[in-house]
């Protein structure tokens, strides 16, 4: 269901982008918009993972510098049937994590210092499994494409004030102004809806990878509390990357609103408890 919803939302985002191109320049404008989107996505496809890791000061670690963390990632990657991703450490005290990479063969998992300090080994396994689910689902590519198109929609909307739109467009000046305001808003809402759908799906598949949904449920509670209390300065400076993290690094939201890139944590925890068929608690696992 989430896959179909994601496909529909991405189609809506692309349709919005092409419609703006048509309003600005007719069929020629629509063709230029399509070429622009293709060029931007091609660049993002090859470079978005490196850019994201650099923005957050992520440092690659290996079996020598972080043996327990790397061993856990390797074990869970085998469970997921994935190539072992590169592992990165971000020096911030906010507990959080994200995955990136254009495909499973080039995947990377980045965790914060605060995550390692705050979570038990079982909870950490739940978080790593969630990030591996993003890699397995190729969510990093999906989110890169949607973020790029959303940015391009804003760019085209700003062009409207300079070019005045397509002269044959009956909306005229009022329509052009409305386009400038509403188009970026609509694109942002679609992007956020895709983000929320992908998080629910990664929770589900991540729970299957580690075998214990309640490990992730317990971790999510701690992560939300930590995100409320502790700033993540690189994320605050680069808010466009907020959707990549397992919980909102810009301080967690209490409601599942249209303007949130992440689902309500209580809703995520409730779904994980339903998967486990248990009201609370979980047995300790191989990393406990």
| Contact predicate 35/152, CB 8 Å | no
Report the SS3 class of residue 213. helix
For 107-133, letters b (16+ CB in 10 Å) and e give bbbbbbebbbebbbbbbbbbbbbbbbb
CA proximity to 95, closest of 221, 270, 276, 260: 221
* Torsion sign (Cα): 218, 221, 224, 228: negative
Q: Which of 74, 91, 131, 236 is catalytic?
A: 131
What torsion do the CA atoms of 115, 120, 126, 130 make, to the nearest 10 degrees? 0
Report the SS3 class of residue 60. strand
Long-range contacts formed by 160-165: CB under 8 A, 24+ apart = 160/20, 160/23, 160/24, 163/24, 163/25, 165/23, 165/24
Q: Are strands 108-112 and 86-90 parallel, antiparallel or unpaired?
A: parallel
- Whether 74 is catalytic: no
The DSSP code sequence of 115-177 is HHHHS-HHHHHHHHHHHHHHHHTTHHHHHHHHHHHHHHHHHHHHHHHHH-S-TT-TTHHHHHH
> Which residues have a catalytic role annotated?
131
């Amino acid at each position: 269901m989430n896959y179909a919803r994601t496909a529909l939302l991405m189609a809506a985002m692309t349709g919005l982008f092409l419609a703006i191109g048509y309003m600005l320049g007719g069929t020629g404008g629509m063709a230029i918009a399509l070429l622009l989107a293709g060029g931007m996505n091609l660049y993002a496809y090859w470079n978005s993972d490196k850019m994201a890791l650099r923005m957050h000061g992520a440092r690659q670690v290996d079996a020598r510098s972080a043996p327990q963390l790397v061993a856990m990632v390797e074990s869970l990657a085998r469970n997921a049937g994935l190539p072992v991703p590169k592992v990165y450490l971000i020096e911030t005290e906010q507990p959080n994590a994200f995955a990136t990479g254009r495909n499973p063969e080039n995947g990377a998992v980045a965790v914060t210092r605060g995550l390692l300090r705050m979570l038990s080994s079982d909870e950490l396994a739940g978080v790593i499994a969630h990030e591996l689910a993003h890699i397995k689902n190729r969510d990093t590519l999906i989110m890169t494409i949607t973020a790029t198109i959303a940015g391009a929609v804003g760019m085209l909307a700003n062009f409207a004030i300079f070019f005045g739109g397509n002269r044959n467009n009956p909306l005229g000046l009022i329509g052009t102004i409305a386009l400038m305001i509403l188009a970026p808003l609509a694109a942002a809402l679609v992007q956020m809806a895709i983000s929320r759908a992908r998080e629910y799906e990664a929770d589900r598949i991540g729970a299957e990878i580690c075998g214990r949904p309640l490990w992730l449920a317990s971790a999510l509670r701690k992560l939300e509390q930590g995100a409320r209390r502790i700033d993540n300065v690189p994320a605050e400076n680069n808010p466009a990357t907020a959707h990549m993290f397992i919980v909102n690094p810009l301080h967690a939201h209490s409601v599942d609103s249209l303007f949130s890139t992440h689902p309500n944590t209580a809703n995520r925890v409730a779904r994980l408890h339903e998967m486990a068929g248990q009201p609370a608690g979980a047995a300790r696992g191989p990393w406990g």
